[in-house]
Structure 1
């Protein structure tokens, strides 16, 4: 937190100065009443001029307090919001750089809570907790100074309660922290459950799971409710304990001070000012303790955010001295898997000692049953994960030596479910990059056969898409993703089940786009439908992380092995979709 606050040190100095002046103006008011009582009223000096003078001073102090408090609050809001904005920006930037294994461990709902809710909690720390610590802490110190000026004995008695306050705070600290941690965890799980259900609403309705999901949501909501009630109960007990301590201290001061006045060892004005300061003495303490819940919540949120920021990506860019870069236009497209072994868990290897060589401009199809390792192979080539053993090379250079930005310009990926962002079609084609002209993006759409489809839309290329491109068919979204590839011109093209969910007519359009896009590029096609790879230069058949067969379509049919069985099964079923995954 201090590293984020450091650039605003002069603003914090201004906040401190404004607080000092504003609080001093407030605390001088009881002292003025003490002077009026003991030095004027007690000796019978009650002129109208004196009262007017006293009222004018009071008014001046109130104006001074208002001005400096106003400036202080605005400065603190400005600093706090800027710090939180920077934390949120750094958090999003850090998450976007994380490896895919990170997203295997962290739920999307939890990350959404980190970026939105947790950063808002930190904002509350600056606008509430820090304000209370500065203003109320300074007020507490100045009140003690004024009390010792009035009567050191009574001031000493009033400080007896401070150790008691410290003990209570320590006793409640762990309980409050557990309560807030539990409440935040339950909130994250509730958000994750809600996001998951909204994403899968089509499936829920198709299988009539509304009541079941409603029941599960109610369970999550009840757990969140109980956590919040426990948190609120702990907070109320904590704050009311301080109220009791404050009232007990006030009663003690009135008793001791009243006896001193009756014994004529203390002036009435001093007692009045002392009681006023005692009331104000517990006001900042109460304010600080009332912020204890926000402080605990901030601590939990900072722990959660720091847990993200301190996580280093397992796949990282090479150090500057070891980095290699290739201009995409100079890439030949030779790909080599050299003795590659990999597993998502160390004790469960998926691919072992694989050697595979793809030649420049070659189209290679990969088929196999679910879990055979096809998508894993592609994830390794994109360096979403690093190999456990061996190396993957492009044109003889280990991909671990490429900066990731350079690698992803060389290798283009089209997935089964193309992801489109909220925004216009033209922006989705050029991925919001202004250096890619509108004409280049339109030309890419013409190249893959998407222009006619886009031209039929109400606003053409400026048609706004909602989340994930809903409103467009699967084939239309896929054509846009092909146009995106053409715009960025990678030298290695990967299609991961790109035609799996398309009807036959749309598949023909996508197949034509594939033929256009793959010209002159090394192309890897993971096939859901065998027709997609029948014309490939080479077909690889995978089982249990190994390549068990390879060759052309006809060669594999003649071999009467695994591929021939898959092909026969597809023909008997009346279609060519025997392979899933």
Structure 2
């Protein structure tokens, strides 16, 4: 997506944010999907559960020991120092036991959580990478960054904090009731009165807190997406002096996020303090009821002491769970958002036998497609790629291309290409020209199968591109774009695209072949020079030469140049033209050009207008025809002369 388009899209999003409600997430299905990741760690969770029970019992038996010391020794008037010493040692042992098993519980659970989150993050990134180009046109990069980073981090906190709290604090509540009923059933029943009150408060706050937290997460996501889009288009913002306008829009998003955070904080404080008041009132009531029973000699003082201790311990896990409510809401929203991405199917998928469209394909097309699948697997293994049934070798793919009566539109009712027919012979160099919006780049996107045609078919050597696995198709078709993308890494890695099966010698030979070797040798560390993001340390022409070296290394049968020289000066353009002459040898080559000088020597030039071919022929034939190509040529000559 170009920066100008990105900025425009997010300006429209600002208006949409206010009016469009959030889709209702499917929490149940998302958590059900999580069970598939939890299942392999059942033994680990069993160990965590056992350690948790031992740690909790170690804590809860301590007040009971104090009850024994008070009632059986101090209040009974005994001076049994040895019994008290034993109780002290047991108390110390329980404290150490609580520490050791809590330590084991935490470490095991953290290890399981990190393993699950790492697996989900890996699969999420891989799933995003498999999406079709249309998905990235519809979805902002900032939102995807938020999903891969913030949402998976929220999931990490779920295992680190929420799940641990549910294990430990949930069991603590259950065992506290067991201990209280063991001490005195009457006082325990009085304590049960608290449960409906707690349930009413929790239910009252639950829905409101979920809405509040989801609002904050959504506004954070939109703010991050806005920042990411603006950073990618910063040069455009500065050129058109849009800093104040973009800062204004950022401040609006930041203010909305700030307000959502304040609302969330107020809700949390109100929820937490409500439980604090309830806790203090409960202690006062138990003290009054229990104290009356002690004075009436119906209850032992040690039992009352233990009860007060358990009541305080009862509200401590509730407060802890309350504090983790935000994290639970965060994890709930994050899981739903992550699984929404997982549920997104690529618009473009490889056909498999048994589908209706494959069944309708010709038998010969199926055989060729199967052969190409085998070639892909063999090529990936570094073997000679051969179709066992037809004896087809990868090197035998000639590059015959046929666009057969194709029609295509990005949006229904707005056709981009209309009933286009075009045949390109193997090894032919084709130039494609036309005004902006004529459908030139769309034609190339269809050949690379970034999108599928709505009508007609595109065939390579007689095989429909929809019958060719995408990995094979992208190996057969090499694309050099107007802005070649270079990754952070060395020149070597950028040429071979981090494919270790391609040797250093092959990379150097490819650079020498296209004329990039002299440029690389001038760099501080030659081929080992580390490039910054997008290769900003190199000029546009140098980046293009490296992209041509990629073509030589990967040896595609079809080469596409999408306005590859549009932003170059005349001297650099000549270098690119020389490289093009080299890499186009024995390849079917399609060049989309704004500068007609780059395609004047083409075998055939296609002139497109409104999604159709209006003229075709070589340069001299089109000049003599006196149509649109001649107008474009004369216009370009006038620009040069001017």
1:228 aligns with one of 261, 275, 297 = 261
3-state SS, counterpart of residue 300 of structure 1? helix
Aligned: 1:448 with 2:514: yes
Q: Paired residue for 1:79? A: 112
Deviation at 1:52, TM superposition (A): 1.7
Q: Which stretch shifts more, 521-530 or 247-256?
A: 247-256
Return the alpha-carbon distance in structure 2 between the equivalents of residues 241 and 341 of structure 1.
65
Alignment map for 1:149-228 (pairs within 5 Å): 149-228=182-261
Return the alpha-carbon distance in structure 1 between the equivalents of residues 201 and 611 of structure 2.
61
Deviation at 1:4, TM superposition (A): 1.1
Alignment map for 1:438-477 (pairs within 5 Å): 438-477=504-543
1:497 aligns with one of 551, 554, 563 = 563
Return the alpha-carbon distance in structure 2 between the equivalents of residues 391 and 263 of structure 1.
95
Deviation at 1:320, TM superposition (A): 5.4
Task: Answer whether contact 1:325 1:402 (CA < 8 A) is retained.
Answer: no
Return the alpha-carbon distance in structure 1 between the equivalents of residues 353 and 522 of structure 2.
49
Task: Please report the TM-score for the alignment, with normalisation by the length of structure 1.
Answer: 0.97
Deviation at 1:215, TM superposition (A): 2.3
Q: Paired residue for 1:579? A: none
Aligned: 1:39 with 2:91: no
Q: Which stretch shifts more, 555-564 or 219-228?
A: 219-228
> For each residue in 1:295-317, what CA deviation from the matched residue of structure 2 results, as whole angstroms up to 9, or x when unmatched?
00111111111111110001011
Alignment map for 1:60-459 (pairs within 5 Å): 60-319=93-352, 324-326=370-372, 327=375, 328-459=394-525
- Measured at CA, do residues 42 and 559 of structure 1 come closer, stay the same or move farther in structure 2, by a change above 3 Å? same
Deviation at 1:575, TM superposition (A): 6.0
Return the alpha-carbon distance in structure 1 between the equivalents of residues 492 and 585 of structure 2.
24
Residue segments in structure 2 that go unaligned for 5+ positions in a row: 1-33, 359-368, 376-393
Task: Answer whether contact 2:408 2:417 (CA < 8 A) is retained.
Answer: yes
3-state SS, counterpart of residue 75 of structure 2? helix
Return the alpha-carbon distance in structure 2 between the equivalents of residues 341 and 149 of structure 1.
79
Return the alpha-carbon distance in structure 2 between the equivalents of residues 503 and 573 of structure 1.
14
Task: Answer whether contact 2:73 2:80 (CA < 8 A) is retained.
Answer: no
Deviation at 1:568, TM superposition (A): 1.1
Deviation at 1:246, TM superposition (A): 2.2
Task: Please report the TM-score for the alignment, with normalisation by the length of structure 2.
Answer: 0.88
Regions of 4+ moved over 4 Å? 320-323
> For each residue in 1:202-229, what CA deviation from the matched residue of structure 2 results, as whole angstroms up to 9, or x when unmatched?
2223333333322222222212211211
1:3 aligns with one of 36, 39, 52 = 36
2:575 aligns with one of 502, 506, 509 = 509
Return the alpha-carbon distance in structure 2 between the equivalents of residues 88 and 575 of structure 1.
56
> For each residue in 1:400-434, what CA deviation from the matched residue of structure 2 results, as whole angstroms up to 9, or x when unmatched?
11111011000000000000000001000000011
- Measured at CA, do residues 325 and 422 of structure 1 come closer, stay the same or move farther in structure 2, by a change above 3 Å? farther
Return the alpha-carbon distance in structure 2 between the equivalents of residues 235 and 325 of structure 1.
62
The count of residues paired between Structure 1 and Structure 2 equals 576
Return the alpha-carbon distance in structure 1 between the equivalents of residues 193 and 453 of structure 2.
65
Residue segments in structure 1 that go unaligned for 5+ positions in a row: 577-581
2:627 aligns with one of 521, 542, 561 = 561
Task: Answer whether contact 1:325 1:403 (CA < 8 A) is retained.
Answer: no
Q: Paired residue for 1:549? A: 615
Deviation at 1:319, TM superposition (A): 1.4
- Measured at CA, do residues 575 and 152 of structure 1 come closer, stay the same or move farther in structure 2, by a change above 3 Å? farther
Return the alpha-carbon distance in structure 1 between the equivalents of residues 278 and 556 of structure 2.
71
